[in-house]
């Protein structure tokens, strides 16, 4: 059970969350979430999850690999935040975590009770709609808040008109 959302209380505002996962469609999710946040006077949270299990090496090598993964995550998030500021005109919150994406999403939603909507975009590749959308559709990871899933066929202009 999810904790009560606080976004409607005085001093709080509803936040939209998008996950930066390196897929081509995640940019559409970020664009939609950012537009919805701006149009509703809300906030935008961008989450990057460093996959778990990538660091099972000797201790020294593991520390170097972890540091490199964090540097890469920070660079990716800096670019994503810059694009949001330039295209939409809002300053997103940046969160970087390590572990399983569904677990980290759920953990962040529980910690930040202003996050009210998770925005994902489905890919159209032959491999499927993407790992997070597949998790939602397959019920392998039930998220405690509503999830908006965008088709990747939408243009930025169409996203703007929908947001």
Tens-place pLDDT, residues 35-91: 999 999 999 999 999 987 655 666 677 778 888 889 999 999 999 999 999 999 999
Mean pLDDT of 15-38: 92
Looking at residue 137, its pLDDT comes to 62
d(CA 21, CA 43): 20
Residue written as token pair 């397959």: 138
Selected from 3.40.50.620, 3.40.30.10, 3.40.50.300, 3.90.600.10, the CATH number assigned to the domain covering 15-162 reads: 3.40.50.620
Looking at residue 129, its pLDDT comes to 65
> What's the pLDDT band for 163 if we cut at 50, 70, 90?
confident
Looking at residue 120, its pLDDT comes to 92
How many Å from the N-terminal Cα to the C-terminal Cα in the chain? 28
Looking at residue 102, its pLDDT comes to 87
């Amino acid at each position: 059970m999810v904790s009560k959302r606080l976004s409607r209380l005085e001093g709080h505002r509803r936040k939209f969350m998008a996950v930066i996962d390196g897929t081509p469609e995640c940019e559409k999710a970020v664009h939609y979430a950012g537009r919805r946040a701006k149009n509703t006077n809300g906030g935008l949270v961008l989450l990057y999850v460093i996959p778990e299990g990538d660091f099972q090496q000797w201790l020294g090598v593991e520390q170097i690999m972890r540091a490199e993964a964090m540097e890469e995550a920070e660079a990716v998030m800096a670019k994503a935040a810059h694009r949001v500021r330039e295209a939409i005109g809002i300053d997103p919150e940046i969160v970087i975590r390590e572990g399983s994406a569904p677990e980290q999403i759920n953990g962040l939603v529980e910690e930040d009770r202003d996050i009210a909507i998770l925005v994902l975009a489905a890919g159209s590749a032959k491999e499927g709609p993407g790992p997070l959308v597949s998790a939602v559709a397959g019920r392998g990871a039930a998220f405690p808040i509503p999830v908006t899933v965008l088709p990747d066929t939408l243009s930025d202009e169409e996203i703007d008109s929908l947001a």
